[in-house]
């Protein structure tokens, strides 16, 4: 069964303290992996798409990487405004009909 | 380019009533997906429409239905509301919903059932 697992469920960091969020997946034929950021009460905001193992993408303090089994979202020197829930989703091949499989998210809190 | 818009933003209904939510996708996007989000369950896929046809459906009861119009705008309807239907309902649009296609989300409609 296709599955996406995010860890940790929650992460508290001090401002400036770098860390990584994990998204592990077991799917048949990865087409793409997506990272979104969601603020409370709002819709998810698209961050990155990764297509193949070894690929990396960066945006400001965020860097996403992909291996054959997992993706990491690295946050360098975070600021309080980076506090949000980060969601990972995978688009699989096979009989998935292009539907996304979502992880439960990691709630990130950056303390000033 | 305008983003995905959803109306209304907030709704309060009572059990047994029905509700209709609306979603206008990004111009040029033909696929619209609907999700229910609750604190305990995360993002749950409801259904997806493409070219006025329901292409995919999640595991929700028949009380949840939707449709898409020729201009790609979509509505979802929930009949006979239950307390457990209280949630944030999100709409996402994408160009075609095929291949590797990014979904862009609207702000959501917060539904509270009393």
- Mean pLDDT in residue range A90-100: 73
List CB contacts of B83: < 8 A, sequence separation 6 or more: B15, B113, B114
Where is average pLDDT lowest: A14-23, B6-15, B44-53? Answer: B44-53
Q: What is the pLDDT of residue B18?
A: 98
On chain A, the residues whose CB falls within 8 A of the CB of B90 are 43-44
Q: Which of B55, B31, B30, B60 is nearest to B45 (CA)?
A: B60
List residues in chain A touching B: CB distance below 8 A: 31-32, 34, 36, 41-46, 49, 51, 87, 91, 97-100, 102-105
Please give the backbone phi and psi of residue A82, each rounded to the nearest 5 degrees, phi first.
-80, -5
Looking at beta carbons, which residues of chain A come within 8 Å of B43? 44, 87, 102
What is the nearest CA distance from A111 to chain B, expressed in angstroms? 22
Question: B96, B97, B94: which is closest to B106 by C-alpha?
Answer: B94
Residue A81 is predicted with a pLDDT of 97
């Amino acid at each position: 069964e296709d599955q996406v697992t995010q860890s940790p469920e929650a992460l508290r960091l001090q401002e400036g303290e770098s860390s990584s969020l994990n998204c592990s997946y077991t799917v048949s034929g990865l087409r793409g992996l997506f990272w979104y950021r969601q603020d409370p009460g709002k819709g998810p905001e698209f961050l990155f798409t990764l297509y193949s193992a070894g690929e990396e993408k960066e945006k400001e303090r965020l860097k996403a990487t992909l291996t054959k089994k997992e993706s990491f979202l690295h946050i360098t020197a975070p600021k309080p405004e980076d506090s949000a829930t980060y969601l990972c989703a995978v688009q699989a091949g096979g009989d998935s009909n292009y539907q996304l499989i979502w992880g439960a998210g990691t709630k990130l809190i950056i303390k000033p | 380019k305008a983003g995905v818009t959803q109306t209304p933003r907030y709704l309060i209904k009572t059990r047994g009533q029905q509700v209709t939510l609306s979603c206008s996708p990004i111009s040029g996007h033909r696929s619209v997906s609907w999700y229910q989000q609750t604190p305990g369950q995360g993002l749950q896929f409801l259904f997806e429409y493409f070219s006025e046809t329901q292409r995919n459906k999640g595991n929700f009861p028949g009380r949840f239905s939707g449709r898409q119009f020729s201009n790609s705008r979509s509505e979802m309807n929930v009949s006979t509301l239950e307390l457990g239907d209280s949630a944030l309902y999100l709409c996402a649009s994408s160009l075609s919903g095929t291949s590797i296609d990014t979904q862009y989300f609207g702000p959501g409609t917060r539904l509270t059932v009393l």
